[in-house]
A and B are shown apart, each in its own frame.
Chain A
Amino acid sequence: MPRRDDLHKILIVGSGPIVIGQAAEFDYSGVQACKVLREEGYQIVLVNSNPATIMTDPEFADATYVEPLLPGPVGQIIAKERPDALLPTLGGQTALNLAKALAENGTLERHGVELIGADYEAIDRAEDRERFRATMKAAGLKMPRSAIATSVDEALGQMQDIGLPVIVRPAFTLGGRGGGIARTPEEFREIVRGGLEASPIGQVLLDQSVLGWGEFELEVMRDRNDNCVIVCSIENLDPMGIHTGDSVTVAPQQTLTDALYQRLRDQAMAVIRAVGVETGGSNVQFAVDPQTEEILVIEMNPRVSRSSALASKATGFPIAKIAARLAVGYTLEEIPNDITMSTPASFEPTIDYTVVKWPRFAFEKFQGANPVLSTHMKSVGEVMAIGRTFQQAFAKAMRSRELDAPVRLGDAPLSALLERLERPGADRYDVMLECFRRGAEVEAVHERCLVDRWFLAELRELALEPETPFEGERTYKAVDTCAAEFEARTPYYYSCWERTSADEVERGARPSVVILGAGPNRIGQGIEFDYCCVHAAMTVRESGRDAVMVNCNPETVSTDYDTSDRLYFEPLTLEDVLAVCRLERPEGVIVQFGGQTPLKLAAGLADAGIPLLGTSVEAIDLAEDRGRFGKLLDELGLSAPPYAEAHSVDEALAASREVGFPLLVRPSYVLGGRAMEIVYSEEGLAEYLARNVRDDGRAIFLDRFLENAIEVDVDALCDGEEVWIGGIMQHVEEAGIHSGDSACVLPPHSLGPEMLAQIRAHTEGIALGLGVVGLLNVQYAVYEGALYVIEANPRASRTVPFVSKAIGLPLAKLACRVMLGERIAALGLPEEAMVGDHVSVKEAVMPFDRFEGADALLGPEMRSTGEVMGVARDFPAAFAKAQAAAGAALPQSGTAFVTVTDSDKAGAVAIAQTLHDLGFRIVATRGTKEAFERMGVPATALKKVGEGSPNVVDMIESGEVDLVVNTPTGSGARSDGWQIRRAAIARGIPCLTTLSGGLAAVRAIAAARAGASDVLSLQEIHRAGNVETPA
């Protein structure tokens, strides 16, 4: 059946901010869908609240809405755009849930919008655990014994029949959020309570535990003629009990006999048919008992997923692209396999290499969080590596992880290491390899971690002879879906080691530019950088050169073989990158767009004689060496907060007196603001140093901490002679909250023209002083009216996509053109970046709800995983949208709980006053209440947590509080404030931890009360700002 001509306009829903369990893979799938559906001649309306995505680039849709993914705003978009269909299967769980809501509240029917890809029934059958179970039973498929509970007592009853240990999983949550494994009745009670809270429908699924069984995933596709294919099988090294998202996985499956694998294949097809996904891809998860060969279905996702992105990259079969075509009427047979071009998509990829996926964790950022892996996903990113053998792929994957600090196993005895394997953490494989190095046998390791012996035997060999898999010559082979049975047209390569090299790379005559990607997503370096790399690739291609991408993150758009002329799926280490350069002989390498990862390689590449495009290594060093940078600022007559560098604890204490308190302290060897803290006294400093600094002579940085300063972020373009300011962003939270974690506004809402002029002048000075060619990001603090430079990063920053969308000009592309030799003067840019008549707000999204135990406080250390953007006619409305998009929609009425430190009490009165005027009931802790009432704002006092119930936390938990304003009284873990913030987050109640945030929030509430603000497409906004959106 050919293309459906009854559809004209299709609404595609993205997955919103990057959160644990839902990352860049949905940008990859969404972009593929936009591309093919436009090729097919459909009009595309796209909605996604995440500005850092490629899919929200105006050029990928006819109308692009950066609006909250909530029934309200999306309903408005539907009413305004009148799409014929909604494609909900490419935006993860978020898009599915949203589509369900829009179907249930009648919006789709009212506007005659058809769900394509998966209809309401199919979504519900797969997502509602009870219906899914019934569906599987009817199809003759087995699942773990289980029951569903909506209360703790009900659950305790069911526990008897199922038997401990029991897996507790809440319905409708991402990445197993809020679940756990209960081994004792006490644990059971505890976990069930948490699960019921985490579930938006207050429902938990209790499962017979099959801990230790093998875990497998199959990616299935089905077309409207009921033809099914399995794109890829994925085997988890980590057995059942460790979330697939946290597991090291391998493709294809390695340990199942053909007979058993074929049974899995049959069942995967039975599942997609029973659930009724008529067109598209689904992910089916199985548990397999290796001894008895019993198979149980664990779950199915009726949509593309993290695993389908992995499967696409692992096989070269573009699942999302094909799912999109299937959704508009095509059948698999009618779609060509774009790798061979000679064969149809109605086949099953077969591969002649091994693929390993490795998760990337960030526990170090969440002190107090429980670092043991379980059924609840905790990783923040992943890498993929391809090798001809498992050992090659595994070793490449380990290299690709790019850990901030090497795993230190110290001199713990073997017995202790083996014990550690029983409580698997992020470093379990490092521990395992060390065990083997110390002579452990496969059996001893197997007993403790239940990883299949095949893998353990391979790992043991790798541990004992790490060089062996890499003997011979490095050679580049192609990913071609067919094990070389047919000629491949798609230039997608990986390096491997063979006796003699037989490169398959076809390097044309055109000059090439190598773009280094950002590697695994992690906190501090996320999708924003992939966005920039993709823009670089587009620009390089437009310039008539070949764009060559090097990256190892399977979630991304940059690793889509469509994005560049040649893709090398490789680790971003100097060795691996140099090998690519030797083969490519590029005109230059771009290190500015992938965050710190490629920047760290710059010097090594330059030493090897590889030309870098844009900012020189010398300039990079000048910006990153604090001493040299400090001198430059002096020369330029710019001020920075007083600071000192110490190399011992005593030195630090001495230096602190000169610099003066409060102090911002950080050891030199950490990145991304890690282990940064603010200390107010020498005692505090001593205590910090004791906790964080090994007295090993490495530098410790002390900065005078500018309190209550306004932080400003600037992204600018420089060609060495001219500077162009792309955007000046004013942070909502004061300096001290990491720039990546604070909300910011563009244009600035409270900086005067003189200050803005000064910021421009400073930025120009720094850009030219450093000799930047390309992008520069500068962070400032406005303290008591004066401007201080916090830091300058001579590279694309996290905010580049946000700014580009706000001003309607693609900063990264412009920078890339400059790096390729164009002059700013020749780019035809407006005098000043225009913003039209709208305000853009960026808000960060925090993962606190996934790290039980960690405090939910903002600080100088970045902790957010993603961001959203709110666009409206004025600041309050834009801020309200951003809050809603970030998942903490502000209430319009109800009860507000306020408790602030003494220093904040005066400031908090204004907040309380407005809330009172808006008709909120105000409850506060005693001190705060008195402060309010002295200023004539009525408030009710509440017991402190220590003072018995009913206290604040009880009230929050019973849902009697709608808004929390709580500024920290120094981060004593388990302090009142800590408990209040945890409770608020568990309940999903907006919780503002800074005065400035609180003020912005009340203004936003007032604005929202005035009526829902209209939805604006980026295309409209940019037209209003009369910048034509460049293609």
Chain B
Amino acid sequence: MRPGYLLLEDGLRLDGQLCGAEVAGTGEVVFTTGMSGYQESVTDPSFAGQIIAFTYPHIGNYGVSAAAMESDRVHARAVVMRAAVNREDAPTAERGWLDWLVDCGVPAITGVDTRALVRHIRGAGSMRGGLFAASVAQDEAMGLVLAEPAMAGADLARVVSPDAVSRHGADGEGPLIAAIDTGIKRSIVRELVARGARLDLHPCTVGADELLAEDPDAVFLANGPGDPAALDYVVETVREVIGTRPVFGICLGHQLLCRAVGLETFKLPFGHRGANHPVKDLRTGRIEITSQNHGFAVAAPDGGLRVERDEPVRWETRFGAAELSHVNLYDRTVEGLTLLDVPGGTVQYHPEAGPGPHDSLYLFDRFLAAL
């Protein structure tokens, strides 16, 4: 392992040993507090353009396997860890974690005081940064960091979205769902298909007519990276399909449906990334422990960033009545939307888990039952 360092745009430098591919990596430095599921995280397209710092020190313990892929490749720009290990001899490992990162061309660093990093980001907010070999001069490195475009305003969906439509699930009777693939996770595809659905994944630039060409039973808005405010072209498509088909979505998809019905989105200071966030369903009072991965969130109709009231927030949209149905109990940010006059609803968190708890898997049953 070669000495290297993580540099943040505000000048914070943390040293460690490089343990991945021998390239530099820059991007938005974010942290996730999940204690397992490192492979799922780095292959989640929502992490495109970001450097992931894992708050749990030991990463790599059980190696990597095909089953844990959330897409066909690693989307994170780089990985920051406290105590990375390779361990290709773990019972279900198909390859060692560090060997695999090298295979995938992903730079990584270990031996970093990740807790000090998190405390810094918690105060200063997530920001750009990069991984560099110790031999790279710090001012040169800073140049590269600052050359990195800011996350706010970034359209990263285009980067991760497929070029062509693909069909998933056994052909046959199952309901047909047309998804706008802004970077969908395999777990979502798996959960839908496991429930008998057929799923078409469309490029995010798809138009409404194309999307509805095969006469789908519903439209699904996927998760994905970047700033929802940069995706007005998708929002337009969504506006056209609301009312014609039930519209469901997760994470970025939630933000897009919310924008489509007139809500604003904003950048969270350091995002929600982890597997332990409590979310309350304001209609039933039930609390679910959720998997989260988002840097932007939806503002309430009154423009407020927090929902203080403990019942659903109802208001009139151009598509009829709607309500904010879920709230995050950590910071009371919006976690769910339900359309009341036309079929549709979305959640900010990840019911498909991968990684994370299964508390909300039932949402997929509910979704398909509604068709």
Contact = CB atoms under 8 A, between A and B. Distances in A.
Interface of A: 225-227, 229-230, 252-259, 261-262, 265-266, 290-291, 293, 332-333, 343-344, 346-354, 388-390, 442, 453-454, 457, 477, 482-487, 498-500, 502, 504
A483 B57 CA distance: 10
A216 to B, nearest CB: 13
B118 interface: yes
Nearest to A455: B61
B274 A258 contact: no
28 contacts: A254-B58, A258-B37, A262-B356, A290-B91, A290-B92, A293-B92, A343-B329, A347-B278, A347-B330, A348-B289, A350-B55, A350-B275, A352-B56, A352-B118, A388-B82, A453-B89, A454-B85, A483-B33, A483-B55, A483-B115, A483-B118, A483-B274, A484-B55, A484-B119, A485-B122, A499-B16, A502-B113, A504-B119
A492 to B, nearest CB: 14
A252 B58 CA distance: 10
Most buried by B among A343, A347, A442, A483: A483
B289 A229 contact: yes
B92 A499 contact: no
A151 B58 CA distance: 49
A484 B274 CA distance: 12
Contacts of A388: 57, 82-83, 115
A354 B280 CA distance: 30
B34 A350 contact: yes
A398 to B, nearest CB: 19
The 7 closest A-B pairs by CB, nearest first: A258-B37, A483-B55, A258-B355, A348-B276, A258-B36, A290-B91, A484-B118
A485 B328 CA distance: 14
Contact of A258 (B68, B114, B286, B329): B68
A484 B357 contact: no
B116 A257 contact: no
A453 B83 CA distance: 17
A409 B20 CA distance: 41
B274 A485 contact: yes
Most buried by A among B56, B285, B355: B56
Nearest to B35: A252
B81 to A, nearest CB: 11
Nearest to B41: A258
B158 interface: no
Contacts of B277: 347
B289 A389 contact: no
Interface string B347-359: 0000001111110
A368 to B, nearest CB: 40
A502 B358 contact: no
B33 A482 contact: yes
A227 B55 CA distance: 26
B40 interface: yes
B188 to A, nearest CB: 15
Interface string B16-51: 100000000000000001111100100000000000
A389 B116 contact: no
A920 B310 CA distance: 71
Contact of B280 (A333, A348, A504): A333
Contacts of B122: 484-487
Contact of A255 (B90, B115, B358): B90
Interface string B280-302: 10000111010000000000000
Given A256-B62, A454-B61, A485-B274, 8 more contacts: A348-B276, A349-B276, A351-B56, A389-B58, A390-B83, A442-B89, A484-B119, A486-B122
A388 B55 CA distance: 11
Interface of B is mostly: loop
A487 B82 CA distance: 21
Contact of B62 (A252, A257, A265): A257
Interface string B94-105: 000000000000
Nearest to B114: A352
Most buried by B among A229, A265, A454, A502: A454
Interface of B: 14-16, 33-37, 40, 55-58, 61-62, 65, 67-68, 82-83, 85, 87, 89-92, 111, 113-116, 118-119, 122, 274-278, 280, 285-287, 289, 329-330, 353-358
Contacts of A482: 33, 276
B356 A225 contact: no
A225 B285 contact: yes
Contact of A354 (B57, B67, B92, B329): B57
Contacts of B119: 484, 502, 504
Contact of B118 (A227, A257, A349, A485): A485
Contact of A346 (B61, B90, B92, B287): B287
Given A388-B82, A454-B90, A498-B113, A225 B55 contact: no
B90 A453 contact: yes
A484 B329 contact: no
B50 to A, nearest CB: 17
Contacts of A353: 57
B278 A344 contact: yes
Nearest to B329: A344
A948 B55 CA distance: 69
B82 A389 contact: yes
Contacts of B353: 262
Contacts of B289: 229-230, 347-348
Contact of B15 (A225, A347, A390, A499): A499
A389 B114 CA distance: 12
A289 to B, nearest CB: 9
A349 B35 CA distance: 10
Contacts of B111: 499
Contacts of A485: 33, 55, 118, 122, 274
B206 to A, nearest CB: 32
Most buried by B among A226, A349, A477, A499: A499
B202 to A, nearest CB: 28
B280 A389 contact: no
Nearest to A482: B33
Contacts of A457: 85, 87, 89
A265 B357 contact: yes
A255 B61 contact: yes
A485 B16 CA distance: 22
B119 to A, nearest CB: 5
B329 A225 contact: no
Contact of A254 (B61, B82, B114, B329): B61
A261 B36 contact: yes
Contacts of B34: 258, 350
B278 A258 contact: no
A278 B354 CA distance: 29
Nearest to A487: B122
Contact of B329 (A256, A347, A442): A347
Contacts of A256: 36, 62
A351 B40 CA distance: 19
Given A225-B286, A454-B61, A347 B114 contact: no
A19 to B, nearest CB: 34
Nearest to B82: A388
A911 to B, nearest CB: 63
Contact of A262 (B56, B113, B357): B357
Contacts of B286: 225-227
Most buried by B among A252, A258, A487: A258
A291 B277 CA distance: 31
Contacts of B330: 343, 347, 486
A931 B58 CA distance: 72
Contact of B92 (A257, A266, A486): A257
B239 to A, nearest CB: 35
Nearest to B119: A484
A389 B115 CA distance: 12
Most buried by A among B15, B67, B82, B276: B276
Contacts of A265: 357-358
Given A258-B37, A347-B330, A389 B57 contact: yes
Contacts of A354: 57-58
